[in-house]
Amino acid sequence: MSNAATDYLENRTLDFWLNGNSLTTTSPSNLYVALFTGTAATVLANIEGGTFSDEITLGSYARTAVTFGSASSGSIANDANVTFPTATGNYDGTVTVLAVMDATTSGNALFAGELTQAKTVTTGDTFQVATSNLAVSLT
């Protein structure tokens, strides 16, 4: 997955390191993966505009918790499989973009990027991101 930091994360990071943390940034206690349809550019534009209109909503979809290992050389990856609930119906579109979020609903997107291969999820499918396949980098 190629990824981009959201404006929210970029502003919080810059403020933390270069402005004495005047926004009082704290790290989220839990992180989640959200699934989206569309292009990364469109999804990011919508997220920056304050909407998650491209997020999957059907088929028992729910954001799923993710944990990461230690960062190395400006990159970090998930340290366990991220397994979404088995779809009880077809997802409302082809999954093309993943985002790392700070809440199970609404909240803030931190990073987003396009999948290397889009995935159509139908009834009975279980969408999964294997260990180390969700890599985020700041390079």
Residues above pLDDT 90, as percent of the chain = 68
Q: What angle (nearest 5°) sits at the alpha carbon of residue 66, between those of residues 124 and 24?
A: 140
Report the pLDDT value the prediction gives residue 23, as an integer from 0 to 100.
74
Q: What is the pTM of this model?
A: 0.89
Contact by Cβ (8 Å): 137, 5: no
d(CA 135, CA 68): 9
Does residue 112 surpass a pLDDT of 60? yes
Report the pLDDT value the prediction gives residue 117, as an integer from 0 to 100.
94
**What count of residues does the chain have?**
139
Report the pLDDT value the prediction gives residue 56, as an integer from 0 to 100.
97
Between 17 and 75, the more confident residue is 75
Enter the tokens of residue 38: 């569309």
Please list the residues that pair with 99 across neighbouring strands. Answer: 34, 112
Report the pLDDT value the prediction gives residue 16, as an integer from 0 to 100.
82
d(CA 8, CA 29): 17
d(CA 76, CA 135): 6
d(CA 13, CA 23): 10
pLDDT, tens digit (0-9, with 9 covering 90-100), for 38-61: 998 899 899 888 889 999 999 999
Enter the tokens of residue 101: 């979020």
pLDDT, tens digit (0-9, with 9 covering 90-100), for 66-106: 999 999 998 999 999 999 999 999 999 999 999 999 999 99
